[in-house]
Structure 1
Amino acid sequence: MNVTMSPRDRQILQIALPSIVSNITVPLLGLIDVAIVGHLGSPAYIGAIAVGGMLFNIIYWIFGFLRMGTSGMTSQAFGKRDLPEVTRLLLRAVGIGMTVACGLIILQVPIRQAAFTLIHPTEEVKELATLYFHICIWGAPAMLGLYGLSGWYIGMQNSRIPMYIAITQNIVNIIASLCLVYLCGMKVEGVALGTLIAQYAGLFMGAVLWYHPYGRLRKYIVWRGVLQKEAMVRFFQVNRDIFLRTLCLVAVTLFFTSAGASQGEIILAVNTLLMQLFTLFSYVMDGFAYAGEALSGRYIGARNREAFTDTVRHLFAWGGIMAVLFTLGYALGGNAFLQLLTDDTNVTAAADTYFYWALAIPVTGIAAFIWDGVFIGATATRAMLLSMAAAAVSFFALYYGFRSFLGNHALWLAFLAYLFIRGAMQTGLSRNVVEKAFGR
């Protein structure tokens, strides 16, 4: 049977599929580091990588607005065919990313001290994590520069280059870390240097790959207008809302882990394993969200409401397909997947009690992912912030309201409600967002 795919579907998949590959490769950087130090003979090495990796995940997560804000504004400028503004946005995003990174490097000691005050690692882990942190922090310019560059590429409807960058980083990280640890006799410092080298290799690759398809834009590379007051105000307004939204997201995510930990090792392990099912789903749905960012912004910039509406409709169709496939996949093979992650029978038995919550993740989360992409493309960041804030408040209210008699079930109820409320509120706000983008 031949399946005919519409041009719109092909547009979506051309952006979504490379983005999904990029998303899946992201956690490999951390897994590679853990796998290498896991054979060095001391659990303290694993603890150091875990603590250091968590710190950087939080730091870079918070500054993810550099990618999202750049993507939305670039896709709109691309839709308008405003090539000078497209180029100014690239310079603006990368420049601000580098500036923020320099601030992180300058403040690295108080940042590390504040983090260890909250985490309380053992002295041995603390010493090794400090070494790891003070090496990897020098990768901040590369990482935050790449955030701006990757957002710009997606805004330009090109998700293949970010995929090539992610693959390059992983290959370089494996080779560099293995050589430094096993050939040069280094330990945690070797893994940290391998990560650092991989980060700058990714930035170098991102810059080199820019030249061929976008070299013609060099004639627009002038700093005049990059720091124009009105443009900078809009840039920071968009990114301020995304930054605050990200803080809400981080608060919910960290609290979810903390609340599970407070209920004992078994519940913490169960929640961690079941959240891997959410993570897998999010990798795929983020790919479609990136397609939403690129295409919705493009058609808003081009003032093509019909194409915008058609794109949103097709994005939700793909989201529905993914929700059905993931729900069926988890129902049929979810337990087998959990058993691959652990052979602890106590944990897998306890996971059965909460497994049906994980089955509901795709259905409750689909709208939030799709609307996030569309709203970023529309630079409707205030609506995103309001939706996320309401969802976060609901999360904490439901958890504290039901935990006394539902226990860990209250945590999962609150999390699923948080996903659903995000999508429901964005659905309610979408009409105003569209009217504002295209005019009444």
Structure 2
Amino acid sequence: MHRATTSTRRHDREILALALPAFGALVAEPLFVLVDSAVVGHLGTPQLAGLGVAAALLTSAVNVFVFLAYATTAAVARRLGAGDLAAALRQGIDGIWLAVLLGALVLAAALPLAPPLVELFGASATAAPHAVTYLRVSALGVPAMLVVLAATGVLRGLQNTRTPLVVAVAGFGANAVLNVALVYGAGLGIAGSAWGTVLAQWGMAAAYLTVVVRGARRHGVPLRPDAPGIRASATAGVPLLVRTLSLRAVLMIATAVAARLGDADVAAHQVVLGLWSLLAFALDAIAIAGQAIIGRHLGADDAEGARDACRRMVRWGVVSGAVLGVLLALARPAVVPLFTSDAAVRAELMPALLVVALVQPVSGVVFVLDGVLMGAGDGPFLAGAMLVTLVAFAPAALAVLALGGGLTALWWAMGLFMLVRMASLGWRARSGRWIVTGAVRA
């Protein structure tokens, strides 16, 4: 009994030590866009509208490559668990080189394609020039952000989430100061906001690279690109890319359905989606801890430790989800007026947010198991499972339109999406097939 209690406390300390700093870093990242919006908003409505279009394009481009963090975390943690720190750093460097290559490709495509992409997103004639300007300048920061993703994965794999928190907070502060100085002090307008963000992003990338390079030199790890290692990193990332694209498709379908329900519905949907995403950051912090801890246990050939950690993190997910759900349900009367004074939008928000609150315990399990399986390198299953949930969600969402349902019905369909994910991930976790030990997943 005492041994079990000691093990539980050890897992709890590990989870908290990794999850709390990870949560801070996750929350700091979207604040970049909020700062840009606050600064640019005072230039005028066309500039703010242009920023909205460009930011949506840039966020989508970066989020597609989030596998650079996830796959790198799992691979580095395995090698760390196996006691081979040099190999862990080598794996991380391969992931960073992959990020550099992908960033160069995105930059090369974004510069000439900025005008047609902005037009595709339906920017107005007055907003489009500002969107193109912001997009072209900000594209220069995409390689830096992909390097940040990969380097964040390296440090998470090394069980270090404090450095990403410090870098994220410093980057946020630098971005705020540079935006004000360049937009108003230098009079550069919306281009100044973009340049401020780019400089902050490259500063973050430089900070990460300094930490990783120092570690590599300390352990005699070469920094030059290694073609087989880069290919291996890309191969490991493909299933997670499929998973991410499937998730993005679900969110796009939900927004498209909401847009067809009416102006009040789509306005309320954006608020609900924003709050849902904010809650997801808290739960994703536990998932990030799961990636690092599970990868390390499996790399150390500790299958039982991985199972114990998984069980404990699932409990954390359920409890965290329940707490967040209760807080959201109780806070709705106070939260809704912060976003809108429109009675029609408020009427849609109240029941939809209650659905989100009720689903939070399910979301807690889903996020944790997603992180556990990522840490185990179980990418192919995650890709297949997400495709299955996409197939289940699409007809449910479209049925909302066909049956004359409203926003609340749409978010019940989102709840179904999470339930299907929980069922598939729970089945995989119980099967034990994700438990493959060793420094490299065979």
Instruction: Mark yes or no: TM-score above 0.5.
Output: yes
5+ residue gaps in structure 1?
Answer: none
2:254 alignment counterpart = 256
The alpha-carbon distance between structure 1 residues 222 and 408, as it changes in their structure 2 partners (threshold 3 A), is: closer
Following TM superposition, by how much is the alpha carbon of 1:378 offset from its aligned partner in structure 2, in angstroms?
A: 0.5
C-alpha contact 2:73 2:153 (8 A) present in aligned 1: yes
C-alpha contact 2:118 2:131 (8 A) present in aligned 1: no
> What is the CA–CA distance in structure 1 between the aligned matches of 2:69 and 2:304, rounded to whole Å?
27
2:148 alignment counterpart = 146
Following TM superposition, by how much is the alpha carbon of 1:232 offset from its aligned partner in structure 2, in angstroms?
A: 4.6
> What is the CA–CA distance in structure 2 between the aligned matches of 1:343 and 1:433, rounded to whole Å?
51
> What is the CA–CA distance in structure 1 between the aligned matches of 2:257 and 2:106, rounded to whole Å?
29
1:343 alignment counterpart = 341
> What is the CA–CA distance in structure 2 between the aligned matches of 1:343 and 1:206, rounded to whole Å?
43
1:355 alignment counterpart = 353
| 2:194 counterpart of 1:192 | yes
C-alpha contact 2:15 2:289 (8 A) present in aligned 1: yes
C-alpha contact 1:87 1:221 (8 A) present in aligned 2: no
> What is the CA–CA distance in structure 2 between the aligned matches of 1:429 and 1:234, rounded to whole Å?
24
CA distances 1:59-78 after superposition (whole Å, capped 9, x unpaired):
00111111111111111111
- Structure 1 window deviating more from structure 2 (351-360 vs 31-40): it is 351-360
- Structure 1 window deviating more from structure 2 (45-54 vs 335-344): it is 335-344
Following TM superposition, by how much is the alpha carbon of 1:218 offset from its aligned partner in structure 2, in angstroms?
A: 4.6
What secondary structure, in the 3-state scheme, does the structure 1 residue paired with 2:95 have?
helix
Structure 1 residue corresponding to 2:331, chosen from 326, 330, 333: 333
> What is the CA–CA distance in structure 2 between the aligned matches of 1:223 and 1:47, rounded to whole Å?
43
C-alpha contact 1:403 1:410 (8 A) present in aligned 2: no
2:434 alignment counterpart = 434
C-alpha contact 2:107 2:142 (8 A) present in aligned 1: yes
The alpha-carbon distance between structure 1 residues 378 and 343, as it changes in their structure 2 partners (threshold 3 A), is: same
Give the partner amino acid of 1:427: G
What secondary structure, in the 3-state scheme, does the structure 2 residue paired with 1:16 have?
helix
> What is the CA–CA distance in structure 2 between the aligned matches of 1:433 and 1:168, rounded to whole Å?
41
What secondary structure, in the 3-state scheme, does the structure 2 residue paired with 1:171 have?
helix
Map 1:216-227 onto structure 2 (within 5 A). Answer: 217-223=218-224, 226-227=226-227
> What is the CA–CA distance in structure 2 between the aligned matches of 1:353 and 1:139, rounded to whole Å?
40
2:171 alignment counterpart = 169
> What is the CA–CA distance in structure 2 between the aligned matches of 1:336 and 1:158, rounded to whole Å?
37
CA distances 1:272-312 after superposition (whole Å, capped 9, x unpaired):
11223311210101100000000000000001112111111
2:422 alignment counterpart = 423
CA distances 1:35-56 after superposition (whole Å, capped 9, x unpaired):
011112x200110111111000
Map 1:12-411 onto structure 2 (within 5 A). Answer: 12-40=15-43, 42-210=44-212, 214=215, 217-223=218-224, 226-228=226-228, 231-405=229-403, 406-411=405-410
Following TM superposition, by how much is the alpha carbon of 1:118 offset from its aligned partner in structure 2, in angstroms?
A: 2.5
> What is the CA–CA distance in structure 2 between the aligned matches of 1:399 and 1:37, rounded to whole Å?
35
What secondary structure, in the 3-state scheme, does the structure 1 residue paired with 2:92 have?
helix
RMSD (Å), alpha carbons: 2.0
Give the partner amino acid of 1:219: G
What secondary structure, in the 3-state scheme, does the structure 2 residue paired with 1:367 have?
helix
- Structure 1 window deviating more from structure 2 (320-329 vs 51-60): it is 320-329
C-alpha contact 1:168 1:205 (8 A) present in aligned 2: no
The alpha-carbon distance between structure 1 residues 307 and 30, as it changes in their structure 2 partners (threshold 3 A), is: same
| 2:14 counterpart of 1:11 | yes
The alpha-carbon distance between structure 1 residues 222 and 348, as it changes in their structure 2 partners (threshold 3 A), is: closer
C-alpha contact 1:357 1:413 (8 A) present in aligned 2: yes
Percent identity for Structure 1 against Structure 2: 24
> What is the CA–CA distance in structure 2 between the aligned matches of 1:19 and 1:32, rounded to whole Å?
21
Following TM superposition, by how much is the alpha carbon of 1:83 offset from its aligned partner in structure 2, in angstroms?
A: 2.4
What secondary structure, in the 3-state scheme, does the structure 2 residue paired with 1:434 have?
coil
C-alpha contact 2:298 2:435 (8 A) present in aligned 1: no
> What is the CA–CA distance in structure 1 between the aligned matches of 2:367 and 2:376, rounded to whole Å?
15
CA distances 1:73-108 after superposition (whole Å, capped 9, x unpaired):
111111111223212212211111111111112212
Output the TM-score relative to the length of structure 2: 0.93
> What is the CA–CA distance in structure 2 between the aligned matches of 1:118 and 1:264, rounded to whole Å?
22
> What is the CA–CA distance in structure 2 between the aligned matches of 1:238 and 1:343, rounded to whole Å?
47
5+ residue gaps in structure 2?
Answer: none
What secondary structure, in the 3-state scheme, does the structure 2 residue paired with 1:433 have?
coil
The alpha-carbon distance between structure 1 residues 353 and 83, as it changes in their structure 2 partners (threshold 3 A), is: closer
The alpha-carbon distance between structure 1 residues 413 and 149, as it changes in their structure 2 partners (threshold 3 A), is: same
Following TM superposition, by how much is the alpha carbon of 1:216 offset from its aligned partner in structure 2, in angstroms?
A: 5.5
> What is the CA–CA distance in structure 2 between the aligned matches of 1:131 and 1:158, rounded to whole Å?
37
> What is the CA–CA distance in structure 1 between the aligned matches of 2:217 and 2:402, rounded to whole Å?
63
Give the partner amino acid of 2:416: A
What secondary structure, in the 3-state scheme, does the structure 1 residue paired with 2:139 have?
helix
> What is the CA–CA distance in structure 1 between the aligned matches of 2:213 and 2:87, rounded to whole Å?
18
